[in-house]
Amino acid sequence: MIEVGGTLPEAVFSILEDGEIKNPHTGTLFSDKKVVLFAVPGAFTPTCSAAHLPGYVALADKIKAKGVDAIICLSVNDAFVMDAWGKSQNADEIMMVADGNGSFSQLIGLDMDTDTFGGIRSIRYSMIVEDGVVRALNVEDPGRFEVSDAETILKQL
């Protein structure tokens, strides 16, 4: 598993931007930037939709006021699902990023196999990344939502 002080590996992501699929790389999203990244097991799932994403939506202005260039929500879903989920949650200040095949989640060791639920998914976590280097990392225990929330990130900034 990636640790504080580790550099994010090179990966390709998907986002829906102006109706078109774009495929930014790790460098595009994280180089020369201070980024809050949080990951969820799945878009539209109960805890993710009722608490995790809404917390970041509510605190986006305060988080960005701490010098954060971008807030990224990542899930092992496709870009269309991430875009629809973001719109349904009024997540205008959050970049909704798809790790479509789970390769990034696997590269950083924060993946889990949910079997018939959905296969490879991301573990729930949050991190602060500065110029591609992890400065804070909050990984949830299975079935928990206690340390990867927006309030914790805001305190860490």
pLDDT at residue 65 tops 80: yes
Domain ranges of the chain: 15-156
Q: Which residues are catalytic?
A: 48
> Using 50, 70 and 90 to split pLDDT, how confident is the model at 122?
very high
pLDDT at residue 117 tops 90: no
Give me the pLDDT at residue 39, please.
Answer: 98
What is the CATH number assigned to the segment(s) 15-156? 3.40.30.10
Q: How far apart are CA 95 and CA 84, in angstroms?
A: 12
pTM of the predicted protein model? 0.96
Give me the pLDDT at residue 118, please.
Answer: 75
Give me the pLDDT at residue 114, please.
Answer: 83
